[in-house]
Chains A and B, each alone.
Chain A
Amino acid sequence: LAKTTQPISMDSYEGQEVNITCSHNNIATNDYITWYQQFPSQGPRFIIQGYKTKVTNEVASLFIPADRKSSTLSLPRVSLSDTAVYYCLVGAVSGGYNKLIFGAGTRLAVHP
């Protein structure tokens, strides 16, 4: 599974756009990029997944450049409730097994 590197923490203010970048230099051809969000004392929650270019849903956008060696999660107009840890996962079904390996994640703190 491709190793991912994310910033340990980020700070932002309400109403701003937040972009969290994840590096995955050794991403494989059949790997997908998935982001999860985790609030304190809760299990992670799926945010968005993509393979290439741009994916958008009601919560976030995911930008993936052509070389796919990095990806950026974009949260538009954050609020205090977006304070959470965000995890970037890269991988695919490998040898018939689907592992979900989490890194340390990025702690986002949104301030008033």
Chain B
Amino acid sequence: NAGVTQTPKFRVLKTGQSMTLLCAQDMNHEYMYWYRQDPGMGLRLIHYSVGEGTTAKGEVPDGYNVSRLKKQNFLLGLESAAPSQTSVYFCASSYSSPAGFSEAFFGQGTRLTVV
């Protein structure tokens, strides 16, 4: 049982390049999330998904796109990377709950540097 796995763990991009971060979970969770965390800051929600085929914007969605074609995968895309997108990206998943939050499980993070 791997939990939440992010690929890749590290990446350096040049300004204007594109890339896709992959998040995979093997817990059959309905909800999945993408966050970014800048040095010394809390996590900011980029996009999230409440089920296969659905996505929604979070707090800081500009410059990112996401897709949830399969329940176990949540992809985060950067179409044209900018230095301001240098950050650590975390993916998380959680099961749906009739009330309140359910426990969220996080991946190990992807450290992205845009030069």
The chain A residues found within 8 Å of chain B, CB to CB, are 30-32, 34, 36, 41-46, 49, 51, 85, 87, 89, 91-93, 96-105
Contact = CB atoms under 8 A, between A and B. Distances in A.
Interface residues of B, number: 31
Contacts of A99: 45, 48, 58
- Main secondary structure, interface of A, reads loop
A47 B28 CA distance: 21
A85 B107 CA distance: 17
5 contacts: A42-B106, A44-B43, A96-B50, A97-B50, A100-B48
Interface string B20-44: 0000000000010101000001111
B39 to A, nearest CB: 11
Contact of B101 (A42, A92, A96): A92
A3 to B, nearest CB: 13
Interface of B: 4, 31, 33, 35, 41-45, 48, 50, 56, 58-59, 90, 92, 94, 96-109
Contacts of B35: 102
A43 B42 contact: no
A92 B109 contact: no
B90 to A, nearest CB: 5
B100 A51 contact: yes
Nearest to A31: B100
A56 B109 CA distance: 29
B50 A100 contact: no
A20 to B, nearest CB: 15
Nearest to B59: A101
A32 B43 contact: no
Contacts of B59: 101
